[in-house]
Copies of this chain bind each other. A is one copy, B any other.
Amino acid sequence: MDCRIIKIGGNVVDNPELLRQFLNDFAAIEGAKILVHGGGVMASRLQKALGQEPVMAEGRRITDAETLKAVTMVYAGWCSKNIVAGLQGTGCSAVGLSGADADLIRAVKRPVLSIDYGYAGDVDPHGVNTDFLLMLLRAGITPVICAITHDGHGQLLNTNADTIASCIASALVPVGNISLTYCFEKDGVLYDKDDDGSVIPEIGPEDYRTLKEEGRIAAGMIPKLDNAFNALHSGVGRVTITHARCLQSGKGTIIRL
């Protein structure tokens, strides 16, 4: 079974008009598809409304018990069900899942080295329940996956959504042609972060090395590109980074080996 895995960032989920347009475009994709979504902007907003101070380290959220509760409420609760209800409204039957549901994504609590990330989980690459995904896809149901995983012993864990999209795509490689699209609020990877028109059409491993050396790649883009290359190395056929409103146009940055 061929399948498209599409990830949208928190800035898309947080913009009702952009989200509505994206969901229409997404619903129109024929064949098997999976949506992975973030929600970081809304999680930080909830944390602040609850008097918590979001703490980030190297772009990742430090997740104490109260933070875990907040991100689970936002990602698996409001974002997930709002997206699912929106898709149902377009006639696309979807089901919103965390990694705990049907043991979909098993993760390990990140070991404490220089930084204690708290209840943050690193995905076990062999921990994706592809049988469950295939059961849903074969029934014509579209999985909508948020960035909460679990350790299999009752503990929920906060996990990076880009990594989840990459791991899901990689795990599905044995079943068919898999493509991965990262959608966010820019038209692609920019050569000059202050010039929205400077989209790089294609990035290979050597370009990536050079761009990093030149300091051209924004800090937040590095984990996304690492995830993109990981997916390609696992056999994912095509990885694209593009704007949420360009899902159908094929524009954006193509990542290649």
Name A's B-contacting residues (CB within 8 A).
46, 49-51, 69, 72-78, 80-82, 84-86, 88-90, 93-98, 100-103, 132, 135, 139, 141, 148, 150, 152-156
> Which of B50, B77, B156 is the one whose CB lies under 8 Å from A72?
B77
For A152, the chain B residues whose CB sits under 8 A away are 88-89
- Nearest chain B CB to A71's CB is how many angstroms away? 9
- Least CB separation from A152: chain B residue: B88
Contact B78–A148 (Cβ < 8 Å): no
In Å, the complex CA distance between A82 and B65 comes to 12
- Nearest chain B CB to A24's CB is how many angstroms away? 11
- Nearest chain B CB to A38's CB is how many angstroms away? 15
In Å, the complex CA distance between A6 and B100 comes to 21
- Nearest chain B CB to A151's CB is how many angstroms away? 8
Contact A156–B82 (Cβ < 8 Å): yes
In Å, the complex CA distance between A86 and B156 comes to 9
For A94, the chain B residues whose CB sits under 8 A away are 101-102
Contact A72–B81 (Cβ < 8 Å): yes
Contact B85–A78 (Cβ < 8 Å): no
- Nearest chain B CB to A83's CB is how many angstroms away? 9
> Which of B81, B88, B100 is the one whose CB lies under 8 Å from A76?
B81
Contact B69–A78 (Cβ < 8 Å): yes
For A141, the chain B residues whose CB sits under 8 A away are 102, 132
> Which of B84, B86, B90, B103 is the one whose CB lies under 8 Å from A98?
B84
Contact A78–B72 (Cβ < 8 Å): yes
For A93, the chain B residues whose CB sits under 8 A away are 102-103
For A102, the chain B residues whose CB sits under 8 A away are 93-95, 141
For A72, the chain B residues whose CB sits under 8 A away are 77-78, 81-82
> Which of B46, B77, B85 is the one whose CB lies under 8 Å from A150?
B85
- Nearest chain B CB to A106's CB is how many angstroms away? 9
- Nearest chain B CB to A14's CB is how many angstroms away? 13
Contact B154–A85 (Cβ < 8 Å): yes
Contact B98–A154 (Cβ < 8 Å): no
For A96, the chain B residues whose CB sits under 8 A away are 76, 98, 100-101
A-B contact pairs, 23 of them (CB 8 A): A49-B51, A72-B78, A72-B81, A75-B77, A76-B76, A76-B80, A76-B81, A77-B77, A81-B101, A85-B155, A85-B156, A88-B100, A88-B154, A89-B153, A89-B154, A90-B154, A93-B102, A94-B101, A94-B102, A95-B97, A95-B101, A96-B98, A132-B141
